[in-house]
A and B are shown apart, each in its own frame.
Chain A
Amino acid sequence: MSQDKDKAQPQDPERREFLTTATGVVAGAGIVATSWPFIASMNPSSEVLSKATTEVSLTGLQPGAVKTVEWQGKPVFILHRTDEQATDMDKTEGGKDPQKDTSRVKDPNWLVVVGLCTHLGCVPQRKDQGWFCPCHGSVYDNSGRILKGPAPRNLDLPPYEFIGENKILIGKAKA
């Protein structure tokens, strides 16, 4: 019995070394894999993810009226522009951040912008033909373009799509 052991001994160390390393690697892989569910549990839950998009019905929103909806915890302004407002906007390019109106809307009668001033994130108020930020006085036009004040850029555009009749989906549906 002990003789068998002795015979096995010489080649043992190396094989033992390899096996121990291999076992360590396998165990380490298991620990890494196990940590994933815990890390993932801190990501937004499926409930939060389901709120990544907001469905808005446009029915009943009169021309000239604005509707504020919540999308991913932020206000989004939906302005139903009259034909006159739309053509007015098409003629200008705004102020310090010039942009064509056509590149800011999908339908000239509907403007959809994130309602946070690009300066320091206050919510601008509807005023005359545009918006006015009460915090530092930035002024935006009916295309959400910055006209004057400290704000550096035009109001941001959320991703959105017209789905069905009179309905838009703000945000990207998860792939």
Chain B
Amino acid sequence: MANKIMAWIDERFPLTNIVKHEITDYPTPRNLSYWWNFGFLAGFVLVIQLISGIFLAMHYKADTSLAFDSVEHIMREVNYGWLIRYMHSTGASAFFAVIFIHMARTLYYGSYRAPRELMWWTGQILLIMLMATAFFGYLLPWGQMSYWGAQVITSLFGTVPFLGDEIVVWLRGDFAVGDATLTRFFALHYLFPFLIFGMVAIHLVALHMVKSSNPSGIDLQAKDNIPLHPYFTAKDFYGLGVFLIVFSLILFFRPNLFIEPDNYIPANPMQTPAHIVPEWYFLPFYAILRAIPDLVGGVIAMALSILLFAVMPYLDRSKIPGGARYRPFYRIMFIVFAIDVVILGYVGAKPPTGFLITLGQICTFFYFALFMLLPFVSKREEKWLRAKGLPAEVEALIASDERQREIQRKEALRK
């Protein structure tokens, strides 16, 4: 019976072929570590957010006079509403945590390099879409932090030359964040996840074109590839189990860990909280914004701090495979960068006073300096490493990688 149904479908839609090609026979590098789990996890969190979000939308009311109370209605009166709401708020943090690790892995192992530039760029677009979605969603509970966060971020668009003020009013649909802002943010918050879903599809098509990168950083021979299923499905699901344990610990025992107490006070346009703090995942960028004394400069710096990642494939000029693995200088830069981002996050969470202002500025300087230094460091590092003599296995990897590409190029020409 099942075979008949499959045959019927396969005459009309290449289902068996797709499953075979993209899952059961899809070649995956055998040496992928657990750091390669996070893409799958990000997809899973997206599904959590979509489902919990749709069910929340059944009870939420996007109206400034009702929004705050409707969230409390969900938390108190709706059956398991507290569970779905905490799942969604914890899921937002989990999404960023997973994405940041996913990005860090890409940076560490140099997975952004050719031929995976499009993977990296679609990933960048996904990050920006995710940030926008989180920002829209954060307004919806209509608490103090929601309100003032939206007020501050929309104000940033006032720095656009000539049209700044008009753009701010246009974004808000009001002179200050108000009912019009809330309803449009709700509409966009519902729309964006589906756009993200589409972009993820593109990200995956690109992935299946260029195949996964791997810790050694070179394209492996066929004998080193194994089918995605059952090997990596088994590995990914095990990783998912571990993730769900961590996720549930926060969801059930510390659900307010990432929610600012001020957001349990209804929005009050007449009174700003003592210090407003963005969600943890925006803190480093927020610190960069504040580090520049000039508002326009701050906005440009903040935008660059996110957009600069896109040019990584060109900033990194080293041919040594494996990212930071075989490259001591790159590794140092990576670690310095990671520490720098953590300090920036800390600075972003604290009120800007005396020493913290200076610290924020130093860290902002390092943040950009590392990007700027990369082209020179990576080239010199490659020369130095090759002069010093790479371990034989790495030389062999480069040689085989180059030979591999040579073969591919010839094949392409022949076609």
> Residues on A close to B: CB < 8 A?
27, 37-38, 40-43, 45-47
Binds A, one of B75-83, B191-199, B200-208, B388-396: B75-83
Q: A-facing mask of B71-114, CB < 8 A → 1, else 0?
A: 00100111111011000000000000000000000000000000
User: In the complex, what distance in Å separates the CA atom of A45 from the CA atom of B77?
Assistant: 5
With both beta carbons as reference points, the residue of chain A lying nearest to B81 in the complex is identified as A41
* Contact between chains at A40 and B80 (CB < 8 Å): yes
**Chain B residues near A47 (CB-CB < 8 A):** 73, 77
Q: Which parts of B46-88 form the interface with A (CB within 8 Å)? A: 51, 55, 58-59, 73, 76-81, 83-84
A41 touching B84, Cβ below 8 Å: yes
Q: Main SS of chain B's interface residues? A: helix
Question: For the complex, what is the distance from the CA of A13 to the CA of B80, rounded to whole Å?
Answer: 42
Q: Which residues of A contact B237 (CB under 8 A)?
A: 27
Interface, chain B (partner A; CB < 8 A): 51, 55, 58-59, 73, 76-81, 83-84, 237
Determine how close the nearest CB of chain B comes to the CB of A61; give it in whole angstroms. Answer: 32
For the complex, what is the distance from the CA of A37 to the CA of B308, rounded to whole Å? 43
B77 contacts A37, C-beta separation under 8 Å: no
Listed by A's residue number, 8 A-B pairs whose Cβ atoms lie within 8 Å are A38-B84, A40-B79, A41-B79, A45-B59, A45-B73, A45-B77, A45-B78, A45-B81
Pair A41/B77 contact, Cβ less than 8 Å? no
Q: Separation in Å of the B305 CB from the closest CB of chain A? A: 38
- Chain B residues positioned under 8 Å from A38 (CB to CB): 51, 55, 80, 84
Please report whether the interface of chain A is mostly helix, strand, loop or mixed according to DSSP: helix
| B83 shortest CB reach to chain A, Å | 5
CA distance A18 to B103 in the complex (A): 37
- Write the nearest CB–CB distance from A170 to chain B, whole angstroms: 22
Smallest CB gap from A16: residue in B: B230
Taking a contact as CB atoms under 8 Å apart, the answer to whether A41 and B73 are in contact is: no
Complex: A20 Cα to B138 Cα, angstroms: 41
Q: Once the chains bind, are B80 and A46 in contact (CB under 8 Å)?
A: no
Q: Kindly provide the distance from the CB of A76 to the nearest chain B CB, expressed in whole angstroms.
A: 24
| A42 nearest in chain B by CB position | B58
A40 to B82, CA, bound (A): 12
Residues of A within 8 A of B79 (CB): 37, 40-41, 43, 45-46
How far does the Cβ of B82 sit from chain A's closest Cβ, in whole Å? 10
| Contact present for B51 and A41 (CB under 8 Å) | no
CA gap between A41 and B81 in the complex, in Å? 6
**Cα distance, A171 to B44, chains bound together (Å):** 45
**Whole-angstrom distance between the Cβ of A29 and the nearest chain B Cβ:** 14
A43: B residues at CB distance < 8 A: 79
Q: Which residue on A lies nearest to B241, using beta carbons?
A: A27
Across the interface, name the chain B residue whose C-beta is closest to A50. B77
The residue that B58 contacts in the complex, of A27, A37, A41, A46, with Cβ under 8 A, is A41
**Cα of A46 to Cα of B80 in the assembled complex, Å:** 11
Which chain A positions have C-beta within 8 A of B51? 38
A41: B residues at CB distance < 8 A:
55, 58-59, 78-81, 84
Given contacts A38-B55, A41-B58, A45-B78, 10 further A-B contacts (CB under 8 A): A37-B79, A37-B80, A37-B83, A37-B84, A38-B51, A38-B84, A41-B78, A41-B84, A42-B55, A45-B77
Cα distance, A38 to B85, chains bound together (Å)? 11
Report the bound CA distance from A46 to B79 in whole Å: 7
Complex CA–CA separation, A175 to B77 (angstroms): 18
Give complex CA distance A45, B75 in Å: 11
A27 to B83, CA, bound (A): 20
Most chain B CB inside 10 Å of its own CB: which residue of A27, A37, A41, A46: A41
A47, B237: Cα distance in complex, Å: 39
Cβ–Cβ < 8 Å partners of B83 in chain A? 37
Which residue on chain A has the smallest CB distance to residue B80? A37
Task: State A40–B58 Cα separation when bound (angstroms).
Answer: 12
Contacts of A37 in B (CB 8 A): 79-80, 83-84
Whole-angstrom CA separation of A43 from B58 in the bound complex: 11
Chain B nearest CB, measured from A173 CB (Å): 18
Q: How many angstroms between the C-alpha atoms of A38 and B55 in the bound complex?
A: 7
Chain A: minimal CB distance from B106 (Å): 29
A47 to B55, CA, bound (A): 18
A42 to B77, CA, bound (A): 12
| Residues of chain A lying within 8 A (CB to CB) of residue B55 | 38, 41-42
Residues of A near B76 (CB, < 8 A) are 46
